[in-house]
């Protein structure tokens, strides 16, 4: 049997390659930041308010919301120019654009389009150019007493919205992700005002689950790589437990802001973790003593990836622990679902066959390793984005 190279040497090589790529990349690069949206319903004043904290310069420049690195966008120069403008000059740029923004927004009350007036705009001072500068827009609209439902959306080129409502009594929060030009879910206004804490828990569990299935292909491949090594309970349980403890730890620390690594480091290393588990599956037929330790280390990275997602939602302090735990439950349910699907599709039928390793484990691991290697190169060089 071929022995696996020491995992530390492989990790060291990956980190060195990553550091070389990071040092050669633009220091001001970042992704198109999602818009933080918050809606309030005030039936006493018969009005609704929508607050949008947005990456205005990216929208004005026409940057594609799907880019991982704004420096790779054809509009990068225009974006950087807008980011360097003082607030008064940015306001002048916005004045030429606001009609397009208004026409690209859709607000529905009882499924009928309505308009809202721009009530306040806050252009922030130039700050750290390595981070996006958010501009706050506040809209106000009429809320007739008989209005029952509400929905909000805008054109896909304006990017993703992390859409929330917060109620005071009882304390609860509704939250969802709107992207691709879709509308929000149709909200029942009376239900929003009387939402229970269990509804909020359900929202975060759903968000955590969907960031594994179907959105988290890199996390799915990592879990499949864990499964492929052996269909026996002990190897799977030892790896999944190590992975769960690790990503739970950094999910909490990362979301709280105690640990914060840029995605330009985290995402390539997540890809490297996929390559590692797949390659070790090829070289070893049994669980190595160091495999759970390595899976734990990579789990720390995956947790930081999850934290980047959850941090965007700006969970209020009163709801932080509950939202964090609920999101993590959703992630765990997603991972268990992936393992269950693997058992149902492969493990039950072929796991005890003499040819299982040669025909399933090794070819499957080769495919996973190649995909992970492609992602590693893509995420460190910016090619093929």
Instruction: Render pLDDT for 115-147 as a digit per residue (tens, 0 to 9).
Output: 999 999 999 998 777 778 899 999 999 999 899
| pLDDT over 80 at 166, yes or no | no
pLDDT average, residue stretch 227-255: 89
pLDDT confidence of residue 385: 56
pLDDT confidence of residue 79: 93
Q: Which band of pLDDT confidence, cut at 50, 70 and 90, is reported for residue 160?
A: very high
Q: What is the 3-state secondary structure (H, E, C) of the chain?
A: CCCCCCHHHHHHHHHHHHHHHHHCCCCCCCCCCCEEEEEEEECCCCEEEEEEEECHHHHHHCCCCCCCCHHHCCCHHHHHHHHCCCHHHHHHHHHHHHHHHHHHEEEEECCEEECCEEEEEECCCCCCCCCCCCEEEEEEEECCCCCCEEEEEECHHHCCEEEEEEECCCCEEEEEEECCCCECCCEEHHHHHCCCHHHHHHHHHHHHHHCCCCCCHHHHHHHHHHHHHCCCHHHHHHHHHHHHHHHHHHHHHHHHCCCCCCHHHHHHHHHHHHHHHHHHHHHCCCCCCCHHHHHHHHHHHHHHHHHHHHHCCCCCHHHHHHHHHHHHHHHHHHHHHHHHHHHHHHHHHHCCCCCHHHHHHHHHHHHHHHHHHHHHHHHHHCCCC
pLDDT average, residue stretch 11-37: 54
pLDDT confidence of residue 8: 45
pLDDT confidence of residue 174: 81
């Amino acid at each position: 049997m071929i022995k696996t190279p020491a995992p530390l040497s492989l990790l060291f090589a990956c980190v060195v390659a990553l550091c070389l790529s990071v040092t050669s990349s633009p220091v001001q690069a970042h992704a198109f930041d999602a818009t933080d949206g918050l809606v309030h319903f005030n039936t006493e004043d018969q009005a609704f308010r929508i607050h949008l904290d947005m990456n205005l310069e990216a929208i004005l420049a026409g940057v594609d919301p799907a880019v991982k690195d704004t420096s790779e966008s054809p509009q990068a120069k225009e974006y950087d120019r807008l980011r360097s403008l003082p607030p008064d000059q940015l306001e002048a740029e916005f004045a030429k654009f606001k009609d397009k923004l208004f026409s690209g927004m859709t607000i529905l009350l009882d499924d009928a389009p309505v308009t809202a007036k721009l009530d306040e705009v806050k252009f922030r001072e130039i700050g750290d150019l390595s981070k996006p500068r958010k501009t706050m827009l506040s809209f106000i609209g009429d809320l007739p007493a008989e209005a029952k439902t509400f929905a909000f959306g805008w054109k896909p080129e304006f990017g993703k919205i992390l859409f929330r409502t917060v109620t005071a009594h009882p304390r609860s929060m509704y939250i969802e992700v709107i992207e691709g030009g879709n509308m929000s879910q149709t909200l029942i206004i009376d239900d929003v005002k009387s939402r229970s804490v269990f509804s909020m828990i359900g929202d975060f569990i759903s968000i955590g689950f969907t960031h594994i299935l179907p959105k988290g292909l890199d996390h799915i491949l990592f879990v499949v790589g864990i499964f492929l090594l052996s269909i026996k309970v002990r190897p799977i349980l030892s790896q999944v437990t190590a992975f769960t403890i690790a990503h739970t730890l950094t999910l909490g620390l990362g979301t709280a802001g105690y640990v914060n690594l840029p995605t330009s480091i985290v995402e390539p290393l997540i890809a490297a973790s996929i390559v590692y588990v797949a390659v070790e599956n090829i070289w070893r037929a049994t669980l190595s003593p160091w495999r759970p330790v390595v899976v734990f280390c990579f789990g720390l990275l995956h947790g930081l990836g999850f934290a980047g997602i959850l941090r965007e939602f700006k969970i209020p302090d009163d709801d932080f622990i509950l939202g964090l735990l609920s999101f993590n439950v959703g992630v765990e349910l997603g991972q268990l679902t992936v393992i269950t699907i693997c058992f149902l599709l492969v493990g039950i039928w072929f796991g005890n066959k003499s040819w299982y390793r040669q025909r399933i484990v090794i070819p499957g691991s080769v495919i996973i390793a190649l995909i992970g290697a492609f992602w590693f190169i893509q995420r460190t060089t910016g090619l093929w984005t």
